[in-house]
A and B are shown apart, each in its own frame.
Chain A
Amino acid sequence: MNTSPVVFRKYFLKTIFYIVIIGGALLAILPFVWMLSSSLKSANEVFKIPIQWIPFPPRWANYSEALSKGDMVLYYLNSIFVSGATVAIRILVCSLAGYGLIKFQFPGRGLIFVFILSTLMIPAEVILVPLFLTVKGLGWLDTYQGLILPLSVSAFGVFIMRQHIQAIPDDLISSARIDGSSELNIFFRIIIPLSAASLVALGIFTFIESWDNLIWPLVIVASDRMKTLTLGIAAFENTYKTNYAYVMAVASVATIPIIITYAIFQRYFIEGITLSGFK
């Protein structure tokens, strides 16, 4: 009886569905797998056809040899510091502003909000040259503050925090005020804990954005010791172009910690990214 056309059609569609969804998933991770696999090959195995997905024997030495060629560890630390500081400044400044804009009344409030939102129209690429000249004027070229501060605050962050803080009941704030809490105390003891979820999401979103920035470090950084990871990898690729296994080993070192973090905090990652959509 199972061969009736309706049942057949159902199973047929189901099979197609799984073929497409599994095929797509393979495509999605193929470059990642290819990177890992190539990072363990010897120079003459890299372009061998048919492709050897699991190199045997794996050449682990690629990693130690590649990493000894540059200051990757330093670039890593630079990136962690720059992205970490960007996240800290952004979530603090944006939640302060979001709170100020939604829970207080002061003249010009609406205008300030529109002013802040209008900076969405000015992406960093558009003001690259004047931003560079500004930072140069401040004497911040090749410094951490030059790398961090200009890109640390975003209109989008203010918008999101304002949106989320709106949901915190006014009564909570006014009763704290009646109890004699200072305004800053209210902010740190009530507003921050109650918007923790969106702060984490905004933080992850910001971290990814900052971690992957190339154009700004490219413009600002002059000395080797200030290089971020993206800059370091791009430079490494430029120098060791033909040694694909080395380049892929460095790329793996840059990627694996991110993938592991993602695997653990997956929900927050997806939330952080979806944040930019309608909520």
Chain B
Amino acid sequence: MRRGHKTSYIRKIGRYGFYFVLPALLFFLAFNFFPMFYALGVSLFKYDLLTEPEFVGLANYKDVLTDPVFWRSALATVIYVFGTCVSIWFISFVLATMLSKKCWGRGVFRTIYFVPVIMSLVVTSIIWKFMYHPYGLVNSMLAWIGLKESYHWLTDTTLAPIALIILSIWKGTPYYAVLFLAGIENIPVQYYEAAMIDGVGPFKKLIHITWPLLKPTTLFIIVISVIIGLRVFIPQEIITDGGPGDVTRVITLLIYQTAFNFYKMSRAATISIIMFFFIAGFSIFQFRLFREKR
């Protein structure tokens, strides 16, 4: 009797829980799920905002997948993500290790190192565009260390992708270093103390204590850095506009230009769906990492 009363009470209260979730639910339905299915729908039509949509089945997918422009864009994206992420994992780990050491001015260093993260990427891109000018800061610093050639960073097909990768490393490293740092500082000091008593060297400490205990952090960083990398847009749009040629036309820029410069809505939606499957693989991984933490 009492039990029954309690359950009905919980159920009655429980309804409020649903009301609390409702606003968020509506937002997600309207601005995530509906557009996702909309995109799926649009990708099956011929649609350019001007004429009546016409059902074409999978023709858009065939068009996109046989279009060299799409594949060059996919390649540009892969090169960008690979170059940026791999460098960032190593550099940010080293930076985090250094910032975790007790040293003079540690707080000041942490403050300074974080500046790139809070600076707007739009502003950062504009500054770097200027720095990469043939007479800009980058070349004059290279000249200072003896490389006196005038590099055309943004108009050379080999250098332009590298230039954008360097910028992204500069911007992204401190962010991931802070994540690593949080992971490192969560490792109980006792492990290191015990290792010290046993006379374990710093390299072995790294391999046997830091590395295994940082595994969840590392996994998380690898997954989100790849996802963030795949979504890159701002530097390519502002600095190179996809050029020279199309060596820096990453997938998001291709989607944007296809839709809003050429008004090929259905083609852009098709590329988006393909990109979705590309990202989904990584996201499912991220999703599982999140769920494990429930």
Contact = CB atoms under 8 A, between A and B. Distances in A.
Interface of A: 17-18, 20-21, 24-25, 27-32, 34-35, 38, 47, 49-51, 93-94, 96-97, 99-101, 103-106, 108-109, 112, 114-123, 125-134, 149-153, 155, 158-159, 163, 177, 183, 187, 208, 211-212, 214-215, 218-219, 230, 233-234, 237, 244, 247-248, 251, 254-255, 258-259, 262-263, 266, 269-270, 273-274, 276-279
A41 B90 CA distance: 37
Given A105-B10, A212-B120, A97 B21 contact: yes
Interface in B63-103: 95, 98-99, 101, 103
19 contacts: A24-B98, A27-B170, A35-B123, A49-B135, A97-B21, A117-B290, A121-B279, A122-B32, A122-B36, A125-B275, A128-B252, A129-B272, A130-B39, A159-B290, A187-B20, A214-B234, A237-B238, A251-B126, A274-B179
A149 B280 CA distance: 24
A51 B36 CA distance: 51
A34 B280 CA distance: 40
B122 A100 contact: no
Interface string B212-254: 0000110011001001000101100110000000000000100
A134 B31 contact: yes
B272 A132 contact: no
Contact of B24 (A108, A158, A259): A158
Contact of A28 (B35, B123, B174, B259): B174
B21 A25 contact: no
Contact of A112 (B13, B21, B256): B21
A24 B95 contact: yes
Contact of A219 (B14, B175, B234, B260): B260
B113 A258 contact: no
Contacts of B238: 214, 234, 237
Nearest to B21: A100
B28 A155 contact: yes
Contacts of A24: 95, 98, 113
Contact of B275 (A101, A126, A276): A126
Contact of A149 (B31, B259, B284): B31
A131 B237 CA distance: 20
A31 B124 contact: yes
Nearest to B268: A129
B20 A29 contact: no
A219 B253 CA distance: 12
B131 A31 contact: yes
Contacts of A108: 18
B287 A117 contact: yes
B269 interface: yes
Contact of B175 (A34, A105, A150, A273): A273
B256 A128 contact: yes
B119 A32 contact: yes
A279 B238 CA distance: 35
Interface in B1-60: 10-11, 13-21, 23-25, 27-28, 30-36, 38-39, 42
A228 B287 CA distance: 32
A229 B174 CA distance: 24
Given A28-B116, A218-B256, A259-B118, A99 B20 contact: yes
Contacts of B121: 212, 214
Contacts of A233: 122-123, 126
A185 B33 CA distance: 32
B112 A25 contact: yes
Q: Which of A31, A151, A247 has the most CB of B within 10 A?
A: A31
A97 B220 contact: no
B114 to A, nearest CB: 6
Given A109-B17, A159-B290, A93 B24 contact: yes
B43 to A, nearest CB: 9
B115 interface: yes
Contact of A121 (B118, B140, B280, B291): B280
B42 A129 contact: yes
Given A122-B35, A212-B120, 5 more contacts: A28-B116, A134-B35, A153-B31, A159-B290, A212-B234
A52 B86 CA distance: 35
Contacts of B290: 117, 120, 159
A214 B174 contact: no
Contact of A131 (B15, B24, B35): B35
B35 to A, nearest CB: 4
Contact of B272 (A32, A127, A149): A127
Contacts of B111: 263, 266
A76 to B, nearest CB: 12
A91 to B, nearest CB: 12
Contact of A117 (B119, B183, B291): B291
B174 A127 contact: no
Nearest to B123: A251
